[in-house]
Structure 1
Amino acid sequence: MFHIFNLIKLIIVLTLVFIGKLSFSQQKNQLKVLQINIWQEGTMVPNGFKAIADEIIDKKADVVLFSEVRNYNKTDFVQRILQELKSTNAVYDGISSEPSLDVAFISKFPIKDQQALYGDTSKMGGVLKSKIQVNGRNITFYAVHLDYTNYACYLPRGYDGVTWKKLDQPIVGVDAILEANRKGRREEDIKDIIQDANKENKDETIIIAGDFNEPSHLDWTSATKNLFDHRGTVVPWDCSVLLQASGFVDSFREKYPNPVKYPGFTYPSFNKDVGMEKLAWAPLADDRDRIDYVYYRTNIPFHVSEVNIVGPSETVKYGKKQNPDSQDKFLLPVDVWPTDHKALLVTFKF
């Protein structure tokens, strides 16, 4: 009887160990990537900084790529957010980036290497390259925040993309729109990222994520030319065209290929704690666009399992709060939403 009892105990223990190992193995075979523009480190929203940490914890992100890091008053945003997360027993690794860079990266996995990567720009924004290893796989990340000036998608909506002022009439010529867009120098940064990524080992998985301040050619199509104040235009926006030609996949559009049913707007986002005057830059237009992305490229088994828009379900349209009017699905904020953008949470499995 004693031996049978011990045998049962042993079986139970081994079963629990096996289940624990299985759970840990499953966790290591997926990666949750959170991309978020934090709107001046959350300072534009009451309690915004704490809300950034709350969202990271609630969404169980494995890695986070930030845009609009400012390191205000000689503070170190990376170390501050690491401490805030640690206070709730959420342990992440992060390397402080140079003060002139306004992007950052943290990870539950040790960061093996990190370096700033600038293109031929005046450092409006930035690109940060970080490397981690997950379950023996090497993954390289580029945290991106591209130049916000010459925001050419405003032109067909009747607004200037530099001064943000109302135009006498909309500009709908595609050549004119692209010419204005290229003054923003976003495509130079993307070309530099692609060139750098092409130097990596062919078995390296590459993820590029951030606020591009530019729409996608997968969104401004013939199907949407008469929607969202596109005013009949079909625009091959440079950054998305360049990335697609280089083998990078837009994770959101891979999961939701229909831009009419699933526009995936990330900007502007409604925010209940912020006045509309700070959210609506083109108050007489429907200027909603998808300008935040998670792209990936890989030669080894690695696929998108799930893509979620994170943030309030409401947007801003014609200078007013717009309730949900698409089939997009949202992971709602815990409480305070720290930014005027939506975020993206992409789950990869391998």
Structure 2
Amino acid sequence: MKKLLCVLWISRFLLFLVLLFGCNRIPVTEVPSMPLIHLEFDNKISNEGVLPVTFRGDENVSFSNDGVSNYSLDLTSAAKFRKPVVVVKGDGQSFNDYPGLSIFFWVKAHPGDPYEYTIISQLADDELAPQGWLFGKTTSGSYRWMLTDGLNEAVYEPTSIRQPVANDEWHLLGYTLDFARKEARVYYNGENVAVFCLQNFNLDIFKGDIYIGGHPFSTNPIRDAFHGLIDEFTIWSRVLTPEQIKTLCGDERHLTRRRREARPDSLTIMTWNIWNGGRADGLFAGPQRVAEIIQESGADIISLQEAFDSGEMIADILGFYYYQRSPGLSILSRYPFGRTYNVYRPRHSGAVVVNLPRDNQIVMVPVALSYLPNLGPYIMSGHARADSVIIREMQSRGSEIRFIMWEMQSIQNSYSDYPIILAGDFNSGSHLDWTEANRENRFGLVIEHPVSKTIEDAGFIDAFRYIYPNEVKNPGFTWSPRYKEVMQDRINFIYYKGPGFNASWSRVIDQFEPGFPSDHAAVVVSFKWDDQ
């Protein structure tokens, strides 16, 4: 009897352990345990990583007991010693020997400091221009990330409204760099807030020493030293996964976003050339108007052309993720980005997967074809010939779109079960508008525009013309709401293909009170899945 009771008690105890540590336990994603460089700043300057490094400025250093876990590097006004700490990795240690890098650190800054600083930098003075990267604090109280090869530069400067660092709280900043894909991803508090294409970059840029709390080219390192606290600076020799980066940060610090558990009932796409960053009517007022128009449209994903320095600001106002293929070509999204693809030239096109809830995806292809030749004056002269227009189109935009569609073939094969959307400024009319039925309104011309014809031949549908098939009644002009004297035409398009996915409504936005901020109209299309 005693033996039976003992077996029962053991069985119950084992069942308790299974329930406690098995079914009810959420698995934790582990971060790789052997980084190249790891500085904890726990009352000493030493590398806990595997890369042999030396230091400069590691004597007479101030530490604060206000750290992420214990102590931190103190560069505040309370510190006795305010100076950068320099990590010297040596000429024989090349970061480019690894498949990728993940560079992260914690930072805390005072909200009352109006100055900009370099927080951490690795820059080498090349013969032509500096090469490397840096994180800095901006005058607004947010941060700035920059990466340059001396010729090309990627810059991300969000707003303090959504991504502050100067608010007396700890924040995790960092980025990952995939050498094979030539892609950088910027993270704030565990969230991948921005993705940058680096296709044209020479990424052999990690030659300089790493300055913790300063800039290598400063003429007065103590005066220019960062004002704040820095902790747990780490470099891994690989691209950490999003799950690993969230583990670094902790769940409580993630950006607040409206999450949808199920696939959305509809998906609204916009394409808009916002004209030199949307700043024609004001450095901030213009982008603010752009953001208001996007917000009122209900767009979930926006293909932006000519965003330039305004892209990250508009994304922050909306609370959206930001993808930059080139300074003039980007995407804003309510949903996070997945894999990116280098399609043709960065200034003309790219591709990025957008991850929708419940493992659903779509592929966004932003497009911006050449604006030359400008055939409007020639067509309006009354002496134009359709074959001449086609020949000149094929010399630029027609050729560009053929390269784009050719390079997209592998993407279409890989994502044949998902919607693919081309959206952008094509700077060319459509053969669906320049028809025999519409000859009277199109300067007496019928033109088989090669750009739109090539896209249609690849199986894509013109979303606006799908909703409004009558080109006479619904011209849908997008060029130009601001300049009525130019040739009015529809040159901004949203094309789509994919099983069970169709346009449900569309509209052109070309008015806004007190003033429309662009010379191009915005095109908005809402899509639905057939099973909903």
Return the TM-score normalized by structure 1: 0.70
CA distance in 2, matches of 1:65, 1:103: 8
Select which of 313, 316, 321 maps to 1:93.
Answer: 321
The DSSP-based 3-state class of the residue aligned with 2:312 is helix
Rate the CA distance shift 1:335–1:24 in 2: closer, same or farther, 3 A. farther
Q: Where does residue 3 of structure 1 map in the other structure?
A: none
Rate the CA distance shift 1:78–1:69 in 2: closer, same or farther, 3 A. closer
* One-letter amino acid of the counterpart of residue 431, structure 2: H
Q: Is the 8 A contact 1:54 1:334 kept in 2?
A: no
CA distance in 2, matches of 1:258, 1:25: 38
CA distance in 1, matches of 2:490, 2:377: 13
1:278-293 aligned at under 5 Å gives the runs 279-280=483-484, 282=486, 287-293=487-493
CA distance in 1, matches of 2:501, 2:467: 14
Q: Is the 8 A contact 2:305 2:329 kept in 1?
A: yes
Q: Where does residue 308 of structure 1 map in the other structure?
A: 507
Q: Which moved more, 1:208-217 or 1:143-152?
A: 143-152
Structure 1: gaps (5+ residues): 1-22, 72-76, 159-169, 271-278, 313-332
Q: Is the 8 A contact 2:367 2:425 kept in 1?
A: yes
Q: CA deviation at 1:70?
A: 2.6
Q: Is the 8 A contact 1:58 1:334 kept in 2?
A: no
Q: Is the 8 A contact 1:79 1:96 kept in 2?
A: no
Q: Where does residue 264 of structure 2 map in the other structure?
A: 28
Select which of 400, 424, 448 maps to 1:189.
Answer: 400
CA distance in 1, matches of 2:262, 2:355: 16
Q: Where does residue 308 of structure 2 map in the other structure?
A: 70
CA distance in 2, matches of 1:134, 1:199: 22
Q: Where does residue 50 of structure 1 map in the other structure?
A: 288
Rate the CA distance shift 1:172–1:208 in 2: closer, same or farther, 3 A. same
Return the TM-score normalized by structure 2: 0.47
The DSSP-based 3-state class of the residue aligned with 1:349 is strand
Rate the CA distance shift 1:95–1:246 in 2: closer, same or farther, 3 A. closer
Q: Where does residue 242 of structure 1 map in the other structure?
A: 454
The DSSP-based 3-state class of the residue aligned with 1:28 is coil
Please give the per-residue CA displacement for 1:55-92, whole angstroms capped at 9, x wherever unaligned.
12111211111011233xxxxx3322223x1xxxx421
Q: CA deviation at 1:152?
A: 2.4
The DSSP-based 3-state class of the residue aligned with 1:126 is coil
Q: Is the 8 A contact 2:369 2:427 kept in 1?
A: yes
Q: CA deviation at 1:336?
A: 3.3
CA distance in 2, matches of 1:192, 1:253: 24
1:148-227 aligned at under 5 Å gives the runs 148-158=371-381, 170-183=382-395, 185-200=396-411, 201=414, 202-227=416-441
Q: Where does residue 276 of structure 1 map in the other structure?
A: none
Q: Is the 8 A contact 2:336 2:356 kept in 1?
A: no
Select which of 275, 284, 294 maps to 1:39.
Answer: 275
Give the greater-gyration-radius structure (CA): 2
Q: Where does residue 144 of structure 1 map in the other structure?
A: 367
Q: Does 1:61 align with 2:299?
A: yes
Q: CA deviation at 1:188?
A: 2.3
The DSSP-based 3-state class of the residue aligned with 1:207 is strand
* One-letter amino acid of the counterpart of residue 192, structure 1: F
Q: CA deviation at 1:93?
A: 1.0
Select which of 308, 312, 318 maps to 1:79.
Answer: 312
1:264-279 aligned at under 5 Å gives the runs 264-270=476-482, 279=483
Structure 2: gaps (5+ residues): 1-258
Q: Is the 8 A contact 2:338 2:352 kept in 1?
A: yes
The DSSP-based 3-state class of the residue aligned with 1:189 is helix
* One-letter amino acid of the counterpart of residue 48, structure 1: G
Q: Where does residue 262 of structure 1 map in the other structure?
A: 474
The DSSP-based 3-state class of the residue aligned with 1:79 is helix
CA distance in 2, matches of 1:114, 1:281: 40
Bigger proportion of residues as strand: 2
Please give the per-residue CA displacement for 1:262-317, whole angstroms capped at 9, x wherever unaligned.
001111103xxxxxxxx2564xxxx110000000011x2111111011122xxxxx
Bigger proportion of residues as helix: 1
Q: CA deviation at 1:253?
A: 0.5
Q: Is the 8 A contact 1:151 1:181 kept in 2?
A: no
Rate the CA distance shift 1:199–1:115 in 2: closer, same or farther, 3 A. closer
Q: CA deviation at 1:250?
A: 0.1
* One-letter amino acid of the counterpart of residue 303, structure 2: L
Q: CA deviation at 1:216?
A: 0.2
Count how many residue pairs are aligned between Structure 1 and Structure 2.
265
Q: CA deviation at 1:179?
A: 1.6
Q: Is the 8 A contact 2:263 2:360 kept in 1?
A: no
Greater relative contact order: 1 or 2 (C-alpha under 8 angstroms, separation 6 or more)? Answer: 1
Q: Does 1:107 align with 2:326?
A: no
Instruction: Calculate percent identity across the aligned residue pairs.
Output: 26
Q: Is the 8 A contact 2:325 2:349 kept in 1?
A: no
CA distance in 1, matches of 2:286, 2:308: 14
Rate the CA distance shift 1:56–1:118 in 2: closer, same or farther, 3 A. same
CA distance in 2, matches of 1:78, 1:339: 14
Q: Where does residue 8 of structure 2 map in the other structure?
A: none
Rate the CA distance shift 1:178–1:153 in 2: closer, same or farther, 3 A. farther
Rate the CA distance shift 1:134–1:78 in 2: closer, same or farther, 3 A. same
Q: Is the 8 A contact 1:95 1:114 kept in 2?
A: no
CA distance in 2, matches of 1:232, 1:260: 13
CA distance in 2, matches of 1:41, 1:27: 32
Q: Is the 8 A contact 2:277 2:311 kept in 1?
A: no
Q: Is the 8 A contact 2:494 2:523 kept in 1?
A: yes
Select which of 496, 500, 504 maps to 1:296.
Answer: 496
Q: Where does residue 352 of structure 2 map in the other structure?
A: 130
